[in-house]
Every structure is written in structure tokens, then in C-alpha cells.
Amino acid sequence: MMTLKHIFRSELQVRLLACLFFLLLSALMSSNTYAADIRVSVDRNPVSVDESFQITFTASQSPDDDPDFSPLEQDFNIINQSNSSSSSWVNGKSTKVVQWIVNVMAKQTGSLVIPAIKFGKDVSRASSILVADKSSKKALDTNEDLFIDVEASPQNPYIQSQVFYTLRLYTKVNISQARLNEPELSDAVIERLGEDSNYNTQVNGVDYSVTERKYAFFPQKSGKLTIKPLVLTAEVLVNNAQSINPFFNSQMSKTKRVESKPITLDVKPVPAEFKGQHWLSAEQLVLKQEWSTDVAQLKVGEPVTRTLSLVAKGTTVGQLPELNTTQTSEELKAYPDQPVLQEQKKVEGLIAFREEKIALIPSKAGTYPLPAIEIPWFNTQTQKLEIAKIPEETLTTAAVATQPEPAPAPTFTPLETTKTDSVAIADSYQNTPIWLWVSIFLALGWLITLIVFLRKRRPKAEVWVEDESEINLKAAIKNLKHACANNDALAAKEALLIWGNHKFDTNNLGALSGLCDARLRDEIVLLNQTLYGKESTQWEGKKLFQAFTENKARGAIKETVDKSLEPLYKL
């Protein structure tokens, strides 16, 4: 039979083994969780077999060890390599970027694999690059020390479609104080893409250093459009061979001016088969929507947010159409926010982004169908017309369950006390122990003492006096109400400016409208157009003050909810 000592020892061993198991499991999970993610990119793709290019390895944290680039030597000649590290602290978060840049030149043509590189226990991902034969590269009939080559693709685009414009500066001498003008094309939007790339190549058997820069052109009208030549003015450094003293053999310079060739684009108009209201051409386009909650389980009076987003590659953000064109009814009120517009200028082209958020509030139970959203667009990759679509959506709203009315409190009818009851009550008082009466007496005395003590310690009520700014704010709101009732646009503007200065520290209607919700913003813009527009119109202030009241009510509700929340951490 096992003793208590043996049982305790066995239980202790089991607990120790369990602790060791969990520690080992945590170590394995942490090693997988904190493994460095190493991304691989090249400065351009494709490249020629006689051109050098850069392979960049980027990590968001320090890898396990230094990299081993020997696997690259199978298909590439390593020219040089360098590494850099940078850290930043933004919004309370620390970010780190570690980079290794390797300059290589391909040994052969074809689709070559950039192998996975080991950084100790961490490993980068494999990628590929297309290497073309040097004979396929456009021949350059020149032996100049310094020249510019430009090209545009495609040269016969559709109107408002993206055209890549690439310039390459070839040098085999040292230059300084170089000045290069920007490309010019009338009736076109021009955007510079990414950073310059530098590499080495050969032209007619001569080694050159190349600086490559890319632009995106978006012609805004059809017909023949000519891109003007680029002009480079630079100081070319030459050795002063005629210097008498070799210790002072300084370099001299001479000014040289080179010019590129002009390029003519033949821009095609919108295809006749395109029937959409808004012409949009892009390489890729993605349209999607998100809901803040389940649209099949909505309740009356509770808002739901619909988020519409459109991402397009190969177009500008100004060409993206409005997404929320649905007309809602009085039973389903819509409050749209300001759209979010963004552009990313990458080497592979321009990426445009548009996002719209709409708050929908149903005022009665039922179903609310939302029609489908269709965005017709022209695919420049396939040269075909396509339609991005969000199917029809139906909102189902249920009535809010009402609380049942409380039952009426029961009424008690006093009963007549009979003589027998009086005798029973008297007997109960006589049979009560003496200690119970003493306890009741002491409790009453303690209660009276506590009341007297609290009355003496009660602080005097503070008298709250409104400051001057609060008085002015209330007066401004009162003046706004009076001005809106009398349709006095100028007085309404003055009252709004006083209110905006107090709430947001702003002194003009344009800035104030951007700080309010959608409905009040639209009414302020309408007021501004009435005051300063070219055409004088009759202004009605009823809608503005109604929107102002709703904006103020929503702000008060939000502030009350925020104040009622408990802090995340209690000190």
C-alpha cells in the first residue's frame, strides 16, 4: 500500500513533467511566431543578360544570422553587396527595417529562379526574374560619352489610359551639377513612378552606367500628342593633362548638353461599344463591400455601416466614379461620410483607391432592397469591356421588442383586530427576551449617531457659474436658431463661425464643414454657395438648423457613452 509520502512525490513528479511540457510547447510556438519574415524584390523585371540589377532582401526584424548568398552564384555573378538598418517610433509603436542589397548579373537568359537564402534559421522566399538576350534589346547607334534614351508604351493608347514613359541616362564619364527637365505633354496627367534605379550595361561593346526613371502619362484627349524632348545639361569632368605641377593636377570640367528624341502618341477615343456614363480604363479593378453587422438581423433605430471600396491599377484616383448612388427613402435614412481617396505611385504603375462609408438607419420594421452596384470599365490588358458588380442586397429590419408593463401593486385592506389577536400580540411582546430589546436600542443609538456625523461632514454645495465662453456659445446657438427661422444667411454664417471657433478652433465655413457630419456639412456648403456663389438664390434656413440640432444630439449621445465606459486599466 502506498503511503502519503509516495503519493505526494508521484503527484509532484506529474506536475513537474506537465510544466516542462508546456515550457517546451511555448518555446516551439514562440520560435515559429517570431521567425523573421524576409521579403525579396528586384529593381526591375525583365532585364537583359548584359545588365546588372539589384536584389533586395527586406526584414521587419533582425534575422537569426547573417545571410549566405552562395546559392545565387549558380545563375548569377555577384558584383557587390551592402546592408542597412533603420528604426522608427510612430504612435507608440517601434518599427525596424533591415535590408540587404545585392548587385548581380545573370549568367544566362530565360526565366531564372532567385533561390531561397538562409539567414541562420530564417529563410527568404524564392522568386523569379525574366532575363532577355542582349540582341533583343533595342540597338543604340551611338558611341557618345553621355546620352539619353526614352521610350513610351503603348504608343496608341485609349484616352485616359496609362502610358509608361521610361528615360535612361547612359554615361561612361563622371558628371556633376546635372540638370534634367521634367517630361511635358499637353492635355495629360503626368505622375513619376517610384525611385530611380541604377545599373551597368554594355552598348556596342562599351560599358555604361545607366540611371533609369519611369513616369505614367494619362492623356486627356484623343488624337496626335507629342511628348517634348528631354534636355540634360551637365558638367563633364576631364583630367587636366597640361598641368605643370603633378601635385596640383586638378580635374577640369566642361559643360555638355544632350537631348532626347520626341515621342508622338496616337490616342484613341472612347470605344463606341462602351455604354457607361463614366469612362474608366485600368489594368485591374476590384470592387467590394463590407457591413458592420448582419444585414438580416437589424433593429429599428439601430444604425448599420456599409463600406464600399474600389481599387484600380493603372488609373488615377480622379477617374474613380462615385460608388454610393443609391437613393434611400424616408424609412431608411442614409448618412454618408467623406470618401477616402488614396494613390500609390509604384514602379509597376499607379494604384488608385476610393472608399465610401454610409450609415443607414431604418425607422420602421420591414425589408429594404438595395439595388446592385455596377461599374463598367475597360481592361487595358485584355482590350475588352468588363463590369465590376456588387449584387442586390436586402436589409431586413425587425421591430424593437417592447418591455411589458409592470403589474399593478397589490392593495392591502386593513383587517379588524379581534380581541383574541390583541391578546396573542401582547403575549408575544411579553415572551420576547430582554437582550433583543437591548440590541434594538443600541442599534437605534448607533444609527442616530451616524446620521448626526454625516450631517456635520456634508460639504457645502458648490455654486457653478458659467464662464464667458459658455455664455457666448449659448448666445451663438440662439442667434443661429433665430437667423435660420428668418432665412438670414449672413447672420447664420456669423453664428456658425462663433460656434465653430469655440468647438473646433476654426474661422471659416469651408474648414468647419469638414468637421461636421454629412448632413450638416452639406447644409454649410449650401450656405457658403448662397453667400459667395455667382448666382444669388433664396436660402432657407430650416434644414440647416435641423441638421445642426441632429449633429449636436449625436455628439451629446457619443460623449455620454464615452464617459460611462470604465477605463481599460485601473491605477
Per-residue pLDDT, 433: 56
Q: How far apart are CA 231 and CA 262, in angstroms?
A: 11
DSSP state of 450: H
Residue 312: which H helix or E strand, with range? strand 304-313
What is the side-by-side order of every strand in the sheet holding 206-219? 146-153, 163-171, 206-219, 188-203
What does each of the 571 residues of the chain score in pLDDT, given as a tens digit?
445 445 445 555 545 555 544 445 444 444 444 567 888 988 888 888 878 888 999 988 888 888 999 999 989 999 888 888 887 766 666 778 888 999 898 988 888 999 999 988 888 888 889 888 865 445 566 668 899 999 999 999 999 999 999 999 999 888 888 899 999 998 999 999 988 988 888 888 888 999 999 999 999 999 999 999 999 998 888 765 554 555 555 567 788 899 999 999 999 999 999 988 899 999 999 999 999 988 888 888 888 899 999 999 999 999 999 998 877 778 888 889 999 999 999 888 999 999 999 999 888 888 889 999 999 999 999 999 999 999 998 888 887 665 555 555 444 344 343 444 433 434 444 444 565 565 676 667 667 776 766 665 555 444 444 567 778 888 889 898 889 999 988 898 888 888 888 888 887 777 787 788 777 888 888 887 787 766 667 788 888 888 888 776 666 545 544 444 444 333 3
Cβ distance 174 to 237 under 8 Å? yes
Cβ distance 337 to 324 under 8 Å? no
Which residue's entry shows cell 444630439? 553
Q: Radius of gyration of the chain from Cα atoms?
A: 39
Per-residue pLDDT, 1: 46
- Residues whose CB falls within 8 Å of the CB of residue 502, separated by 6 or more in sequence, listed in order: 469, 472, 473, 476
Q: How far apart are CA 155 and CA 217, in angstroms?
A: 11
Q: How far apart are CA 146 and CA 420, in angstroms?
A: 128
Cβ distance 479 to 494 under 8 Å? yes
Q: Which three cell numbers stand for residue 319?
A: 477617374
3-state secondary structure (DSSP) of residue 295: coil
Q: Which three cell numbers stand for residue 529?
A: 454657395
Cβ distance 136 to 229 under 8 Å? no
Can you name the CATH fold of 139-267?
A: Immunoglobulin-like (2.60.40)
Q: Which three cell numbers stand for residue 274?
A: 462602351
Which residue's entry shows cell 537569426? 64
Domain boundaries defined on the chain: 38-135, 139-267, 281-398, 470-563
Q: How far apart are CA 79 and CA 85, in angstroms?
A: 21
- Which residues in 303-326 are b (16+ Cβ under 10 Å) and which e? ebebbbbbbbbbbbbebbeebeeb
Query: CA 561 → CA 301, 361, 554, 556, 558, distances in Å?
Result: 17, 19, 11, 9, 5
SS3 string, 359-378, reads EEEECCCEEEEECCEEEEEE
Can you name the CATH fold of 38-135?
A: Immunoglobulin-like (2.60.40)
Phi and psi for 549 in degrees, rounded to 5? Answer: -65, -45
Q: Which three cell numbers stand for residue 460?
A: 457645502
Q: How far apart are CA 543 and CA 252, in angstroms?
A: 75
Per-residue pLDDT, 250: 58
Percent of residues in the chain assigned helix, strand, coil, to nearest 5: 30, 40, 35
Domains 38-135 and 139-267 share a fold: yes
Per-residue pLDDT, 28: 45
DSSP state of 91: T
Query: CA 82 → CA 195, 197, 250, distances in Å?
Result: 18, 16, 31
Per-residue pLDDT, 518: 79
Report how far Cα 384 is from the mean position of its chain's Cα atoms.
31
The number of residues in the chain equals 571
Q: Which three cell numbers stand for residue 559?
A: 460623449
DSSP state of 125: P
Among 512, 510, 548, which residue's Cα sits nearest to residue 529?
510
Phi and psi for 197 in degrees, rounded to 5? Answer: -115, 145
Q: How far apart are CA 496 and CA 537, in angstroms?
A: 20
> Is 281-398 CATH 2.60.40?
yes
Per-residue pLDDT, 246: 53
- Residues whose CB falls within 8 Å of the CB of residue 113, separated by 6 or more in sequence, listed in order: 75, 126, 127, 128
Cβ distance 5 to 23 under 8 Å? no
